[in-house]
């Protein structure tokens, strides 16, 4: 049995316990392992696969609505957009990426369905990115976003076609490195990255 | 235990009699996070002694069960993660196991191993958070800051694997969403060694500190018979000397393959509830090392699913190890029936019950969380102690209100 008893301390053990605690406290007083990041003056370089904001690649989207169906927080709505030009060559380009099935030429549709994400509702689970059969969402590791006015925040289709600008894009980029002695240290992003 | 618990029958008549009794003061602790964390503790004190405690829960009820019943099966994965944000992998795993039992799926061994690795990393994070909460409740912000900061290397590990810091949504029916990246094992080893080094300092500053021992040894004792009778779960149950761990008693994922101990303590007091978390972190480290050493080759999603992927999806999986969702996964409709699953979360046994009527949404989903089952510590253990012992007992049971309220 691994039934253990909690240790009891003698009077001498108590003195040792106090001294140990104080000594360790002093050790960290002299050499503190601070891991505070001076954001936004410096910002952490996140891994490439970090689930941040993403954009829609209009040419790749086939308007299948799967992203809307799979969105757990109902942040995606499919919009109906008028088609300006005859979309015949685009439909062909889409079809060749699909599993072999070349769609028969149909009369050009008047509207196209395109998703729109409300970032206020998005939980960044990336179900939509993973469900998209044509990889029409381009993910990024941008995770921070700020606006001055509410009107800037409102989701628009044009806004969804480009990645948002991160407020920390001009900050000094650091990477977190883990050391088995000192814990996480932030280092300047080296050239080898 | 020497103190006899004064039991007051839990009825409104008894309560009103208690209030009228002379010299008894009703105290309301919370619910505005006055060291209680989005819950209210109603305590009746006679002088300095607690006579009765009534935990008032439900302030952060979010309706996880009903929200899940309104959606596709796969959409419930991010929802079930939300109640226990410091232990999301285990919450996700339990739901997916129940769903897989409904569907009759068996994930490949590599996926099972990855599930074990992430679940144990999540357990380490949960226990570190538990130690942190215990520290701050006893007035030590040092250990709180240390333990929360020491979760960071593990958050970074899972961030590298899944791309999110806390809500990973990593486990899906039939496997996992991302294969382990290259060099993951080495990074895990560095993080584990760092925590091992750090644990020595924790022992000196916090665990073996005579101040902590004076404050918590013998406080909040629960005997093993009472622990079984009241149905408490998880590390708290094991701290009372009951050797019960779902990972051993009802192995799920790949836990049957690993060699690990279920540490128990005899005393069942607050101090042993702190020690059990330290011991379990050591066991989790051992499981992670074994799993990384014996990690099987193969796919992280079951074979039939891979076959149904489109060529583009297959190409992405082969190149990056990222599993794309097919239409099949988004529109799961399990056959009529019901399934249960239980997993050992960081705070104890999580229980899931799923009923399918053959449709696309769950007909009924039930989630029993360990924090809720640890509520008897308030009603049965706190009375008889001093008022100042309430934070000590509360901190030691690692109670997490959003998890209890679901």
Q: Give the position of tokens 């059990």.
A: B276
Helix (H, G, I), strand (E, B) or coil at A128: helix
| Reduced 3-state DSSP string for B53-92 | EEEECCCCCCCHHHHHHCCCHHHHHHHHHCCCCCCHHHHH
Is the pLDDT score of A26 beyond 60? yes
Instruction: Say if CB B300 and CB B175 are below 8 A apart.
Output: yes
Q: Give the position of tokens 């500190």.
A: B209
Tokens of B272: 């042993």
Instruction: Say if CB A34 and CB A85 are below 8 A apart.
Output: no
B72 interfaces chain A, CB cutoff of 8 Å: yes
Nearest to B320 by CA among A53, A49, A46: A49
CB contact under 8 A, B310 and A47: no
Q: What is the mean pLDDT of each run of 10 residues along chain B (406 residues)?
A: 51 60 75 69 83 83 88 88 88 91 88 91 91 87 87 88 88 88 88 89 85 84 86 89 87 86 86 89 90 87 83 84 83 88 89 89 90 86 85 86 84
Is the pLDDT score of A3 beyond 80? no
CB contact under 8 A, B205 and A179: no
**Which residue segment(s) compose the domain that B212 sits in?**
64-367
Instruction: Say if CB A42 and CB A173 are below 8 A apart.
Output: yes
Q: Give the position of tokens 């990255």.
A: A193
A135 interfaces chain B, CB cutoff of 8 Å: yes
Residues making up chain A, counted from first to last = 193
A25 interfaces chain B, CB cutoff of 8 Å: yes
C-alpha B258/C-alpha B213 separation (Å) is 33
Bridge partners for A175 per DSSP: A187
Tokens of B110: 């590599």
| Distance of residue B31 Cα from the nearest chain A Cα, in angstroms | 27
Within a domain: B127: yes
| Distance of residue A177 Cα from the nearest chain B Cα, in angstroms | 9
The pLDDT, as a whole number, for residue B122 is 92
Contacts of B150 in chain A (CB under 8 A): 183
Q: For residue A2, what pLDDT band results from cuts at 50, 70 and 90? A: very low
Nearest to B253 by CA among B306, B218, B291: B291
**Total CB pairs under 8 A between chain A and B:** 152
Distant-in-sequence, close-in-space partners of B280: CB < 8 Å, separation ≥ 6: B123, B127, B235, B263
Nearest to B329 by CA among A185, A97, A127: A127
A20 interfaces chain B, CB cutoff of 8 Å: yes
| Distance of residue A114 Cα from the nearest chain B Cα, in angstroms | 19
B286 interfaces chain A, CB cutoff of 8 Å: no
Number of domains in chain B: 1
CB contact under 8 A, B269 and A125: no
Tokens of B385: 């102690």
C-alpha B99/C-alpha B250 separation (Å) is 17
Within a domain: B343: yes
Tokens of B194: 């760092």
Q: Which of A47-61, A82-96, A109-123, B82-96 has the lowest mean pLDDT?
A: A82-96
C-alpha A181/C-alpha B9 separation (Å) is 54
Within a domain: B235: yes
B167 interfaces chain A, CB cutoff of 8 Å: yes
Instruction: Say if CB B48 and CB B69 are below 8 A apart.
Output: no
pLDDT, average across residues A101-116: 73
Is the pLDDT score of A190 beyond 80? no
Contacts of A23 in chain B (CB under 8 A): 204
Within a domain: B22: no
B312 interfaces chain A, CB cutoff of 8 Å: yes
The percentage of chain A sitting over the pLDDT mark of 90, rounded to a whole number, equals: 0
CB contact under 8 A, B205 and A181: no
Within a domain: B12: no
Within a domain: B405: no
pTM, two decimals, is 0.85
CB contact under 8 A, A179 and B190: yes
Within a domain: B288: yes
Pick the residue with more confidence: A192 or B71?
Answer: B71
Would the ipTM clear 0.85, i.e. be above it? Answer: no
B153 interfaces chain A, CB cutoff of 8 Å: yes
CB contact under 8 A, A130 and B322: yes
Contacts of A17 in chain B (CB under 8 A): 208-210, 213
The CA-atom distances, in angstroms, between A78 and each of A83, A120, B228, B301 are 15, 16, 53, 30
**Domain holding B143: CATH number?**
1.10.645.10
* Residue of chain B with shortest Cα separation from A184: B153
| Reduced 3-state DSSP string for chain B | CCCCCCCCCCCHHHHHHHHHCCCEEEEEECCCCCCCCCCEEEEEEECCEEEEEEEECCCCCCCHHHHHHCCCHHHHHHHHHCCCCCCHHHHHHHHHHHHHHHHCCCCCHHHHHHHHHHHHHHHHHHHHHHHHHHHHHCCCHHHHHHHHHHCHHHHHHHHHHHCCCCCCCCEECCEECECCCCCHHHHHHHHHHHHHHHHHHHHHHHHCCHHHHHHHCCCCCCCHHHHHHHCCCCHHHHHCCCCCCHHHHCCCCCHHHCCCCCCEECCCCHHHHHHHHHHHHHHHHHHHHHHHHCCCCCCCECHHHHHCCCHHHHHHHHHHCECCCCHHHHCCCCCCEEEEEEEECCCCEEEEEEEECCCCCCCEEEEECHHHHCCHHHHHHCCCCECCHHHHHHHHCCCCHHHHHC
Within a domain: B50: no
CB contact under 8 A, A183 and B149: yes
């Amino acid at each position: 049995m691994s039934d253990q008893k909690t240790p009891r301390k003698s009077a001498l053990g108590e003195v040792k316990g106090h001294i140990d605690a104080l000594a360790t406290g002093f050790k960290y007083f002299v050499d503190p392992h601070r891991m505070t990041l001076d954001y936004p003056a410096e910002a952490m370089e996140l891994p490439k696969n970090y689930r941040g904001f993403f954009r829609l690649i209009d040419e790749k989207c086939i308007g299948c609505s799967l992203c809307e169906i799979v969105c757990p927080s109902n942040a995606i709505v499919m919009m109906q957009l008028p088609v300006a030009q005859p979309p015949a060559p685009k439909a062909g380009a889409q079809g060749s990426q699909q599993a072999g099935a070349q769609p028969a030429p149909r009369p050009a549709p008047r509207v196209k369905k395109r998703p729109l994400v409300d970032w206020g509702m998005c939980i960044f689970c990336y179900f939509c990115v993973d469900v998209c059969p044509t990889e029409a969402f381009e993910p990024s590791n941008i995770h921070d976003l700020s606006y001055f006015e509410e009107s800037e925040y409102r989701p628009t289709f044009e806004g969804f076609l480009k990645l948002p600008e991160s407020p920390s894009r001009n900050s000094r980029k650091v990477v977190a490195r883990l050391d088995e002695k000192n814990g996480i240290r932030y280092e300047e992003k080296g050239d080898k990255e | 235990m020497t103190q006899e618990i004064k039991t007051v029958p839990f009825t409104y008549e008894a309560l009103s009699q208690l209030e009228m009794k002379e010299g008894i003061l009703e105290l309301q602790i919370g619910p505005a996070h006055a060291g209680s964390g989005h819950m209210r503790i109603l305590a009746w004190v006679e002088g300095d002694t607690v006579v009765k405690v009534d935990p008032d829960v439900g302030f952060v009820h979010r309706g996880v069960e009903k929200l899940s019943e309104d959606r596709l099966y796969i959409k419930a994965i991010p929802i079930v993660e939300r109640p226990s944000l410091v232990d999301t992998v285990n919450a996700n795993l339990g739901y997916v196991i129940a769903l897989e039992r409904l569907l009759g799926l068996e994930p490949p061994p590599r996926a099972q191993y990855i599930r074990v690795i992430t679940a144990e990393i999540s357990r380490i994070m949960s226990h570190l958070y538990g130690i942190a909460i215990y520290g701050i409740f006893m007035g030590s912000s040092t250990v709180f800051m240390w333990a929360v900061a020491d979760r960071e290397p593990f958050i970074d590990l899972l961030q590298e694997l899944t791309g999110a810091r806390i809500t990973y949504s990593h486990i899906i029916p039939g496997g996992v969403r991302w294969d382990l990246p290259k060099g993951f094992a080495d990074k895990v080893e560095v993080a584990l060694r760092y925590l091992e080094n750090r644990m020595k300092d924790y022992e000196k500053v916090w665990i073996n500190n005579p101040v902590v021992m004076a404050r918590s040894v013998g406080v909040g004792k629960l005997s093993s018979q009472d622990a079984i009778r009241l149905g408490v779960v998880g590390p708290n149950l094991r701290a009372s000397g009951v050797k019960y761990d779902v990972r051993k008693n009802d192995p799920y994922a790949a836990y049957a393959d690993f060699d690990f101990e279920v540490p128990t303590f005899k005393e069942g007091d607050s101090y042993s509830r702190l020690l059990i978390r330290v011991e379990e972190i050591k066991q989790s480290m051992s499981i992670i090392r074994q799993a990384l050493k014996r990690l099987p080759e193969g796919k992280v999603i079951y074979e039939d699913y891979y076959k149904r992927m489109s060529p583009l999806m297959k190409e992405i999986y082969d190149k990056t190890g990222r599993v794309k969702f097919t239409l099949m996964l988004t529109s799961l409709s399990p056959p009529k029936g019901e399934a249960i699953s239980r997993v050992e979360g960081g705070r104890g046994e999580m229980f899931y019950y799923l009923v399918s009527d053959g449709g696309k949404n769950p007909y009924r989903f039930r989630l029993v969380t360990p924090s809720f089952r640890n509520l008897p510590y308030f009603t049965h253990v706190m009375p008889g102690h001093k008022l100042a012992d309430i934070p000590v007992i509360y901190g030691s049971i690692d109670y997490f209100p959003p998890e209890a309220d679901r």
